[in-house]
Amino acid sequence: MRAVQVTRLDGPDAVRVAEVEEPNGDDAVVIDVHAAGVAFPDALLTRGLYQHKPDLPFTPGAEVAGVVRSAPAGAHVSAGDRVLGLTMLSGGMAEVVALPADRVFALPDAVSFEAGAGILFNDLTVQFALRTRGRLAKGETVLVHGAAGGIGTSALRLAPTLGASRTIAVVSTEEKTQIARAAGASDVVLADGFRDAVKELTGGRGVDVVVDPVGGDRFTDSLRSLAVGGRLLVVGFTGGEIPTVKVNRLLLNNIDVIGAGWGAWTFSHPGYLQEQWAELQPLLASGAVAAPQPEVHPLEQARQAIASLENRSAKGKVVLKLR
Ligand SMILES: NC(=O)c1ccc[n+]([C@@H]2O[C@H](COP(=O)([O-])OP(=O)(O)OC[C@H]3O[C@@H](n4cnc5c(N)ncnc54)[C@H](OP(=O)(O)O)[C@@H]3O)[C@@H](O)[C@H]2O)c1
């Protein structure tokens, strides 16, 4: 089969498409992959900068959409079913993957393989962050950093269903404002000067929740943008720098900084992924939550697709088409 291969840890430029052995499908659900999601950790993996460090050579990719080729007896899916699958950390950018049945989920007919490959990794992270960790309540306002990225567009698509009455998107360029609007943002502001813009938009009150996949130097202004009782959800650090917090700010303003590490939570909470999908699947099937509108690249452009997250040119969720 063809698969994306990382053979050296010097960044996306060294990414190749190669012929490799198909995975062993014993006791696993074997999926013919039609599309695979690309996420920021894939770019980090190509430089050995992610916490997960697979042996070289390896295939990146955390999520796939495709058709079941075979499944163990008694599994909840069978040959021919349209499904999504979570490899979680690596192995997804390949024509065939083999996964334990509890990492495989039925794909609603209304959702294409390309859109489907952009759902699990981001939507389940965002659902976990906003609901389980962030205690998002009905009528609250959510500020979303990196709003034209994978996590960002997911937060904009899901927050209204989870109770938010308003979403404010933060993006770095005018071009990216279109992506955030298409994902459902109520308002879009530029990263440069976002604190003043948020103050004006909220009449000085601030926002209830910040979804922060960026970190870096905007962190303190994010804290200053919170209303009393507000929560900042730490999701990632695409900005590079890991911020520090002076805890007197938390005390003085009655605000929380909350870690939202979805992967680690799923490993320590068996059955959580299935619970999450049981809630999200009908919303996607009915259209109550819109499917992602990914930027789709052919497999041969895996290098450019992964690089687009590192060089910040990606627009929305990025997906590779394999079939
Ligand atoms: N906590 C969890 O469980 C979990 C799960 C999945 C992903 N993550 C993390 O969430 C983060 C976002 O992942 P993603 O797949 O959504 O990434 P993405 O699609 O590349 O989006 C990230 C956004 O970050 C912004 N950004 C700001 N400074 C940047 C820089 N120096 N380089 C690149 N981007 C920069 C960009 O928006 P602007 O250009 O508009 O600023 C970009 O759209 C990553 O750190 C990832 O590891 C965490």
- For the residues 259-283, what does the mean pLDDT come to? 97
Q: Please check whether residue 148 is in contact with residue 238, taking contact to mean a CB–CB distance below 8 angstroms.
A: no
For ligand 1, atom 12: residue with the closest CA: 213
Q: Determine the pLDDT at residue 287.
A: 96
For ligand 1, atom 2: residue with the closest CA: 261
**Both structure tokens of 68:** 């079941």
**Both structure tokens of 149:** 């990225």
Q: Determine the pLDDT at residue 322.
A: 98
CA distance 100 to 32: 15
The reply to whether ligand 1 has any atom less than 6 angstroms from the CB of 115 is no
| Dihedrals phi, psi of 166, to nearest 5 degrees | -155, 140
Q: Determine the pLDDT at residue 38.
A: 98
Give pLDDT tens digits for 45-67.
Answer: 999 999 999 999 999 999 999 99
CA distance 7 to 15: 7
Q: Determine the pLDDT at residue 219.
A: 97
Crossing angle for the helix pair 174-182 and 150-158, to the nearest 10 degrees: 40
pTM for this model (two decimals): 0.98
The reply to whether ligand 1 has any atom less than 6 angstroms from the CB of 238 is yes
To test the pocket of ligand 1, the residue of 212, 238, 304 to mutate (highest count of ligand atoms within 8 Å of its CB) is 238
For ligand 1, atom 9: residue with the closest CA: 236
Do the strands 187-190 and 166-171 form a parallel or antiparallel pair, or are they unpaired?
parallel
CA distance 1 to 20: 6
Residue 10 CA, ligand 1 centroid: distance in Å: 20
Residue 171 CA, ligand 1 centroid: distance in Å: 11
Residue type, 269: H
Q: Using a pLDDT cut of 90, give the percent of the chain over it.
A: 98
Q: By CB neighbour count within 10 A (0-12 exposed, 13-18 middle, 19+ buried), where does 271 fall?
A: exposed
Q: Determine the pLDDT at residue 152.
A: 98
Give pLDDT tens digits for 105-136.
Answer: 999 999 999 999 999 999 999 999 999 999 99
Average pLDDT taken over every residue of the chain: 97
To test the pocket of ligand 1, the residue of 151, 168, 319 to mutate (highest count of ligand atoms within 8 Å of its CB) is 151
Q: Determine the pLDDT at residue 299.
A: 98
Give pLDDT tens digits for 64-96.
Answer: 999 999 999 999 999 999 999 999 999 999 999
Q: Using a pLDDT cut of 70, give the percent of the chain over it.
A: 100
Give pLDDT tens digits for 210-262.
Answer: 999 999 999 999 999 999 999 999 999 999 999 999 999 999 999 999 999 99
For ligand 1, atom 43: residue with the closest CA: 149
Q: Determine the pLDDT at residue 75.
A: 96
To test the pocket of ligand 1, the residue of 40, 262, 317 to mutate (highest count of ligand atoms within 8 Å of its CB) is 40
- For the residues 295-319, what does the mean pLDDT come to? 98
Local confidence band at 272 (pLDDT 50, 70, 90 cut-offs): very high
- For the residues 16-28, what does the mean pLDDT come to? 95
Tell which wins on pLDDT, 14 or 44. 44
Q: Which of 320, 308, 322, 321 has its CA nearest to residue 149?
A: 308
Residue 55 CA, ligand 1 centroid: distance in Å: 24
